[in-house]
Amino acid sequence: MEDTRTPTSYETALHNFRKEIDACIQTAENDLSSGESERPEYTREMALVRTKLQEAKMWAGKCLEVIGSPFPKELRDKAGE
Tally of domains within the chain: 1
Which pLDDT value is given to residue 14? Answer: 94
- Give the domain extent around 21: 9-68
Any domain includes 74 = no
Average pLDDT over residues 17-44: 84
Q: Could you tell me which residue, 35 or 55, shows the higher pLDDT?
A: 55
Please report, for residues 3, 26, 30, 32, the alpha-carbon distance to residue 61 in angstroms, rounded to integers and kept in the order given. Answer: 17, 17, 23, 25
Any domain includes 4 = no
Any domain includes 3 = no
Smallest Cα–Cα separation from 57: which of 8, 23, 9? 23
Listed range (16-20, 28-32, 59-63) with the worst mean pLDDT: 28-32
Any domain includes 80 = no
CA dihedral over 7, 11, 16, 22, signed as positive or negative: negative
**pLDDT tens digits for range 39-77:** 777 788 888 999 999 999 999 999 999 999 987 777 777
Which pLDDT value is given to residue 23? Answer: 95
Any domain includes 47 = yes
